[in-house]
Amino acid sequence: MKALPMKTQEVMEFFQNPDEIIEVDLENSSLQGEVFVTYITNMRMKTTLVGGTSQQKLDLLIPYLTSAYTTNCKPLLEGGIDLLLSYRGIEPLYNTWLPAKDLEDFAKNHKEDLDPISEFLDSLVCCIPSFNTKYKKSVFDKEIEQGNIEVITDASIIGPNILGLLQEPNFFEIFVSSGVTVKKYYKHQFEVMRFNNKGLFDIVSARDSLLMPILDLLSEPTEESIEILKKHSEALTP
């Protein structure tokens, strides 16, 4: 188990075995919060965290969720998921790393940080079907042209660690089940961004996520959703 920053000899050993998962002593590390996340991210370390107070753990979550670069740390991934679910008023999925009450209070105090992430995740219900080429050309592109879907070009508004959350079973389905459809297309995140060399298409196609928006509409049919379903059907019919 290592405290951060690592000693020179430890760094040399790490570079000889870069794929090794490093156990990090959070409580006794002199690096904390955003500096801690930046360190393990820049070093491209695969880490798990041992020890640490609730506050030390909470102080890592927003820097992790908003990082501009990929961070490989399972406890932070699970903690980030539980924080976002708490923000939505949903019971944490893992509930092992941090007490639910601490997550709930932290989420309330960091609404401004979590709102943009929530909007991006909710937008996937509207935009994931655009990975189907026929649907994109016949429906999605026209919706953009008509101004019904806003195109977001800010590459920094959502970082790659958010894409990593989508690989976790059930998270996306649970999160969007209590949300609303956000009609925004995050161009960079959809077309360019990578998490461990996987783009958004690679991630959602591996989980059959293309059907999720249709299932979401079916769960609560409205006149609008029926019309959208008709468009889906027309676009996907050979």
Number of domains in the chain: 2
For the segment 104-125, the average pLDDT, to the nearest whole number, is 95
Last residue of a domain, one of 53, 88, 110: 110
Does 213 lie in the same domain as 152? yes
Omega cis (within 30) before 5: yes
Q: pTM score, two decimals? A: 0.85
46 vs 211: which has the higher pLDDT: 46
User: Do 123 and 149 fall into the same domain?
Assistant: yes
Is 94 in the same domain as 120? no
Domain-terminating residue out of 110, 139, 167: 110
CA atoms within 13 A on the CB side of 154: 10
User: CA 100, CA 133: separation in Å to the nearest integer?
Assistant: 42
Mean pLDDT, all residues of the chain: 87
Instruction: Average the pLDDT over each of 22-31, 68-77, 127-136, 227-236 and give the range with the smallest value.
Output: 227-236
What pLDDT is recorded for position 231?
A: 56
Please report the pLDDT score of residue 138 as a whole number.
85
Domain carrying residue 52: 8-110
Lowest mean pLDDT among 63-72, 110-119, 198-207: 198-207
pLDDT at 105: 97
Whether residue 221 sits in one domain with residue 135:
yes
Ramachandran angles phi, psi of 114, nearest 5°: -90, -25
Q: Do residues 57 and 161 share a domain?
A: no
Residue 165, in any domain of the structure: yes
Same domain, 119 and 96: no
Average pLDDT over residues 10-37: 95
- pLDDT given for residue 233 in this prediction: 47
- Domain termination site, one of 53, 76, 110: 110
* Confidence bin at 223 (pLDDT 50/70/90): low
Same domain, 85 and 130: no
